[in-house]
Amino acid sequence: MKSIFYNLGYFFIEAKNIMRLNLLSNILSIIGTGLILFLLGMVVSGFTVSDRLVNMLQGEAEISVFFNKNIDSVERKNLVEDIKKIDGVLDCRLIGKEEAYNRMKEVLVEEAHILELLDKNPFEEFIEVRIQLDQMDNVLNKVKSIKGIDYVRDNREVLGQLKNITEGLKVLGFLVVAAVGITTIVIVSHMIRQGIYNNKDQINTLRLLGAPISFIGFPFVLVGLILTLIGGILASSLAMFLINRVYGEMSLLPFMPLPPRGELIFSIVILIMTISIALGVLGSILGLISIKNLEHNN
């Protein structure tokens, strides 16, 4: 370690020379690395947004609970409190006849005038319950067992489809992130290792002069780190530009569940730069193995 630190200036000069010898290849490697890391960052950004969408959809899962008409206002409030205590219930509140009537008017829109033909409000009071999708069955069973509950409109088919969609989005997001991450590691590692083979003559010369593997390999470690770091900076710049553009356009759709812009950009930049350093280290390790293989082949 002391030897490496003592010769750090020499290693940077050698790394600079190595990059100059294959300038075009290194430039293409930086661009390729940047684009791959940019793709990874965009996938993670998309997963972040979709995850918020999933949480929003889960929060909108509701059931309607209808109770016995003969119970008084105190008993109704007690029913609400009992339902709130059930695991998997996010929120619970009593919906009066007037509110139910107004909601139907909003649903019917242009056809709402039909309701005015009725002599009296046909809607009943009910309890609106927001639930966690993954505990739907548990909530339904416990709500139905409460004394005073006549009927539960569970929208089971709709909620089941919603649950499948949210689970599918999560699985798809993880698969895409894993696939892009693995592809990124394989491609970047191959590019760095190829640089080792492109300089095999210089490596063999140094080996004949008695230089140790660590001394020969460290400049390639620096090259690998420099290539991936520059690629990471390029990817981060592209990601910041695209995220800012998307947020500018999405301002026209305020209902979209986007995370805070600054928070998203910060997390993506940190992720990309961390991945770029990790890939540089991994590629360097593979490069050192390649140097040993060159020694055995000669």
Mean pLDDT of 69-93: 85
Return the higher-pLDDT residue of 17 and 261. Answer: 261
| Average pLDDT of the residues in 9-34 | 75
Which range of 187-196, 243-252, 271-280, 284-293 scores highest in mean pLDDT? It is: 271-280
The winner for highest mean pLDDT among 124-128, 246-250, 278-282 is 124-128
Contact between 146 and 5 under an 8 Å Cβ cutoff? The reply is: no
For residue range 139-187, list pLDDT tens digits in order. Answer: 888 888 888 888 888 766 665 666 676 677 677 767 767 776 677 667 6
Q: What count of other Cβ atoms lies within 10 Å of the Cβ of residue 28?
A: 12
Residue 237: its pLDDT value, please?
93
Written as six digits, the tokens of 19 are 């990059």
Q: Report how far residue 273's alpha carbon sits from residue 277's, in angstroms, rounded to the nearest whole number.
A: 6
Count the neighbouring beta carbons within 10 Å of the beta carbon of residue 30.
21
Residue with tokens 């339902």: 83
Q: What is the mean pLDDT of residues 198-210?
A: 68
User: Quick check: 193 and 287 in contact, CB under 8 A?
Assistant: yes
pLDDT greater at residue 115 or residue 78: 78
Q: How confident is the model at residue 270 (pLDDT cuts 50, 70, 90)?
A: very high
Q: Pick the more confident residue, 210 or 255.
A: 210
pLDDT band for position 191 (50/70/90)?
Answer: low
pLDDT at residue 147, as a whole number: 85
Query: Which is higher by pLDDT, 211 or 254?
Result: 211
Inter-residue contact 271 to 41 (CB < 8 Å): yes
Kindly report the average pLDDT of the chain as a whole number: 75
pLDDT at residue 20 is higher than 60 = yes
Predicted local distance difference test score (pLDDT) of residue 127? 86
Instruction: Break the chain into its structural domains and give their ranges.
Output: 2-57+163-297, 62-131
- State residue 209's pLDDT score: 66
CA distance 90 to 6: 62
Average pLDDT estimate for 237-258 = 74
73 or 288, higher pLDDT: 73
Number of CB atoms found within 10 A of residue 8's CB = 12
**Rg of the Cα trace of the chain?**
31
Please report, rounded to a whole number, the percentage of residues in the chain having pLDDT higher than 70. Answer: 63
- pLDDT, position 6: 60
Question: Among the listed ranges 15-29, 69-83, 119-133, which one has the minimum average pLDDT value?
Answer: 15-29
Predicted local distance difference test score (pLDDT) of residue 155? 64
Share of the chain above pLDDT 90, in %: 3
Res. 226: pLDDT tops 80 = yes
Helix (H) or strand (E) holding 130: strand 126-131
Q: What's the pLDDT at 64?
A: 85
pLDDT band at 238, cuts 50/70/90? very high
